[in-house]
Amino acid sequence: MASDSAIGNKNKLVICICGMAGSGKSTVAKRIARHYGLRYSSGGDALKAVAAELGYRTSGEGWWETEEGIRFLKERSRNPEIDRRVDQKQLEWAKEGGIVFDSWAMPWLLRDGFKVWLEASEEVRAHRIAERDKLTPEEALKFLREKEARTKRIYKKLYGFSLGEDFSPFHLIIDVNLLSKDEVFEALRLVIDRFVLGREDSSI
């Protein structure tokens, strides 16, 4: 599991955490970054920055599930240079090491690094998004499905991989449906300590 050349030395550690919307990838990625003293990079934040440059109003945590966010996704599908620009920047950061990526593309684009997929059902994810963004479950499910359909088409067209269906790049898959945020973090921390960093005492 820890054979990739960018794994083992904490200063060069590159971790990619991936999962569909509402799986909790941003939450655990930020916590892992803080715990190990690594930088944190969100593909979503980078895309929102590009959206703002293009004149979109990007305020609010649940922006992707808004009509404005969906409109930007439509433009992304017509303009592949938006994603290429973001992904190239993140690849440059990966070469420096010491970073945790919360990204859909990086697990497929990076040759090295430790890659994790968080698996959660559509029902669980819709419930989390509804709670987070103060939507009805029906609204959350509608936005989730529309966003994911467009996002999958974008990455299939750009890079040829099937997001949410192809798990070949991942070293670890965690089913988070019945786990709390703390339990997901502890499970991932244990694996990183024991199998990535080679620490015998995983309580460190």
Per-residue pLDDT of 165-201, as tens digits, reads 999 999 999 999 999 999 999 999 999 999 999 887 6
Per-residue pLDDT of 126-157, as tens digits, reads 999 999 888 999 999 998 998 899 889 989 98
Q: Is the pLDDT of residue 93 over 50?
A: yes
Nearest to 103 by CA among 55, 45, 60: 45
Which domains are present in the chain?
Answer: 10-196 (3.40.50.300)
Per-residue pLDDT of 105-133, as tens digits, reads 999 999 999 999 999 999 999 999 999 88
* pTM tops 0.85: no
CB atoms within 10 A of CB 204: 8
Per-residue pLDDT of 31-70, as tens digits, reads 999 999 999 998 877 888 888 888 898 877 678 778 888 8
3-state secondary structure string across 23-84: CCHHHHHHHHHHHHCCEEEEHHHHHHHHHHHCCCCCCCCCHHHCHHHHHHHHHHHHCCHHHH
Q: Is the pLDDT of residue 202 over 70?
A: no
